[in-house]
Structure 1
């Protein structure tokens, strides 16, 4: 994938995640603050837990920082896979956001 293609894909992911977090109020009666600054999206949950998602163009990776650690994801042609063999990015973000929301299930799609 070219750098231009990666940047377009990464920007679309961050836009989608920001929009999705805005929809959680209607879907789950739960509000989360989403703050976007360039290639960095920060989700702030009511209990002050931060989840940060950003793109790393030189590596063509998406990075996630959460209380449970830092995670790196690379696109395999179909989905964003963990570079260390963990769950894909959508599944991992669903679990991270569910935990940050006090266990109330939140489904993240990418």
Structure 2
């Protein structure tokens, strides 16, 4: 994957997450600042942070349960340690922090 392809993929992914958050039933605020998208669960104030790692062409997720590094392999982002795809991983960490099942409706 070229740097240009990576930048297009990560931008598309972050925008899809923002759209899913706008459409979900949960009170999850988000803020994007440069290469970082911060999700805040309003019920308890906990956060999940997604960050663009351009140097190694990865997407990193920081959650209470740990840090996750995802690489883009068709058809999408996959975690190097858990082998979960991005929607599964993000729903899991948000659910763990919310204490209830969270489904963002991101495409697999």
Q: What TM-score do the two structures reach when normalised by structure 1?
A: 0.87
Distance in 2 (CA, whole Å) between partners of 1:52 and 1:105 is 16
Runs of 5+ in structure 2 lacking a partner? none
Partner of 1:33: 29
Query: How many residues end up aligned between the 2 structures?
Result: 106
Runs of 5+ in structure 1 lacking a partner? none
Pick which of 80-89 and 99-108 moved more.
99-108
Partner of 2:7: 7
**CA RMSD across the alignment:** 1.4
Q: Is the 8 Å Cα contact of residues 58 and 72 (structure 2) preserved in structure 1?
A: yes
Runs of 4+ in 1 over 6 A off after TM superposition: none
Q: 1:1-110, aligned counterparts within 5 Å?
A: 1-24=1-24, 28=25, 30-46=26-42, 47-110=44-107
Q: What TM-score do the two structures reach when normalised by structure 2?
A: 0.88
Pick which of 83-92 and 67-76 moved more.
83-92
